[in-house]
Structure 1
Amino acid sequence: MTTVSTAAAAPERADRRAASFYRAVWRWHFYAGLITLPFLILLAVTGGLYLFRAEIDGLIHRDLKQVEARATGERPPTEIVAQAVKTFAGQPVKYVPPETASASAEVTIRDAAGARMVVYVDPYNARVLGQIPDRGTVMWVIRQLHSLAYFGPVANGVIEIVGGWAILLVLTGLYLWWPRRQSGGVLSVRGKPRQRVFWRDLHAVTGVVAGGFILFLAITGMPWSVLWGAKVNQWANGNNFGYPAGVRVAVPMSDEHLAHAGPTSWSLEQAKVPESASTGGKPIDLDAAVAAFDRLGLTRGYAVNLPGGPSGVYTGSVYPKDMAFQRVIHLDQYTAKPLIDMSYADYGPLGKALEWGINVHMGQEFGLANQLLMLAVCLAIILLAVSALAMWWKRRPQGSLGVPPLPGERGTMRVVLGLLAVGGIVFPLVGLSLIAMGLVDFIATRNVQPGRT
Structure 2
Amino acid sequence: MSLSYSATAAVTRAGLYRRIWRWHFFAGLVCVPFIFSLAVTGAMYLFHRQIDDLVYAPQMLRAQASDNMQQPSRLIAAALHSYPGRPKALNLPEDDRHNAQVDVILPDGSTLQVFVDPATAKVAGTIAEDQRIMTTVKHIHSLAIAGDGGKVVIEIVAGWIIVLMSTGVYLWWPRGRRVGVVSIRPGAEGRTWWRDLHAVTGAFSGIVILFLALTGMPWSVFWGANVNAWLTAHDLGVPNGMWRGVPKSTLPAGALGELPWTQQQLAVPESDDPHAHHKAVPHEASANDYVLLSHSGTASPDAVVAQLASIGIDRGYRLALPRDPRGVYSAIRSTGRTEDQRVIHIDQYSRNVLMDIGPERIGAIGRITEWGVSVHQGGEYGTPNLLLMLAGCLALIALCISGIVIWWKRRPTGRLAAPERRNSDQLARGVVLIAVVLGCCFPLLGASMLAVLLLDTLIAALRRRPHTNYQ
The one-letter amino acid of 1:7's match is: S
Cα distance in 1 for partners of 2:307, 2:130 equals: 27
Name which of 279, 291, 305 aligns with 2:320. 305
Cα distance in 1 for partners of 2:201, 2:236 equals: 45
Q: Is it true that 1:165 corresponds to 2:180 in the alignment? A: no
Corresponding residue of 1:232: 227
Q: Tell me if structure 1 keeps the 8 A contact 2:379–2:385.
A: yes
Q: Counterpart of 1:204 in 2: which secondary structure?
A: helix
* Residues 1:120 and 1:279: Cα distance change in structure 2 (over 3 Å): farther
Cα distance in 2 for partners of 1:47, 1:378 equals: 7
Corresponding residue of 1:22: 17
Corresponding residue of 1:213: 208
Corresponding residue of 1:3: none
Deviation at 1:69, TM superposition (A): 4.3
Name which of 303, 310, 334 aligns with 2:349. 334
User: Is the deviation greater in 323-332 or in 69-78?
Assistant: 69-78
Corresponding residue of 2:282: none
TM-score (norm 2): 0.90
Cα distance in 1 for partners of 2:43, 2:221 equals: 22
The one-letter amino acid of 2:345's match is: H
Query: Cα deviations across residues 67-107 of structure 1 (Å, max 9, x unaligned)?
Result: 14466832211111111112111111111123222221111
* Residues 1:129 and 1:71: Cα distance change in structure 2 (over 3 Å): closer
Cα distance in 2 for partners of 1:241, 1:127 equals: 45
User: Is the deviation greater in 175-184 or in 63-72?
Assistant: 63-72
Cα distance in 2 for partners of 1:72, 1:97 equals: 12
Deviation at 1:439, TM superposition (A): 1.8
Q: Any unmatched runs of 5+ in structure 2? A: 277-296, 465-469
Q: Is it true that 1:403 corresponds to 2:418 in the alignment? A: yes
Q: Counterpart of 1:190 in 2: which secondary structure?
A: coil
Name which of 59, 80, 88 aligns with 1:85. 80
Cα distance in 1 for partners of 2:363, 2:430 equals: 38
Corresponding residue of 2:139: 144
Q: Counterpart of 1:446 in 2: which secondary structure?
A: helix
Q: Counterpart of 1:412 in 2: which secondary structure?
A: coil
Total equivalences in the alignment: 447
TM-score (norm 1): 0.93
Q: Counterpart of 1:411 in 2: which secondary structure?
A: coil
Superposition map of 1:147-296 within 5 A: 147-190=142-185, 194-238=189-233, 243-280=238-275, 282-296=297-311
Corresponding residue of 2:361: 346
Deviation at 1:419, TM superposition (A): 4.0
Q: Counterpart of 2:113 in 1: which secondary structure?
A: strand
The one-letter amino acid of 1:357's match is: G
Q: Percent identity?
A: 40
Cα distance in 1 for partners of 2:65, 2:192 equals: 62
The one-letter amino acid of 1:171's match is: S
Q: Any unmatched runs of 5+ in structure 1? A: 1-5
Query: Cα deviations across residues 185-221 of structure 1 (Å, max 9, x unaligned)?
Result: 1112126564222111111111111111111100000
Cα distance in 2 for partners of 1:412, 1:333 equals: 62
User: Is the deviation greater in 417-426 or in 337-346?
Assistant: 417-426
Cα distance in 2 for partners of 1:249, 1:165 equals: 42
Deviation at 1:259, TM superposition (A): 0.8
Cα distance in 2 for partners of 1:80, 1:422 equals: 54
Q: Tell me if structure 2 keeps the 8 A contact 1:84–1:119.
A: yes
User: Is the deviation greater in 308-317 or in 433-442?
Assistant: 433-442
Name which of 435, 440, 447 aligns with 2:455. 440
The one-letter amino acid of 1:236's match is: L
Cα distance in 2 for partners of 1:258, 1:341 equals: 14
Q: Tell me if structure 2 keeps the 8 A contact 1:90–1:112.
A: yes
Q: Tell me if structure 1 keeps the 8 A contact 2:318–2:332.
A: yes
Name which of 92, 100, 110 aligns with 2:95. 100
Cα distance in 2 for partners of 1:64, 1:289 equals: 26
Q: Counterpart of 2:427 in 1: which secondary structure?
A: helix
Cα distance in 2 for partners of 1:142, 1:170 equals: 25
CA RMSD of aligned residues (A): 2.2
Q: Tell me if structure 2 keeps the 8 A contact 1:120–1:129.
A: yes
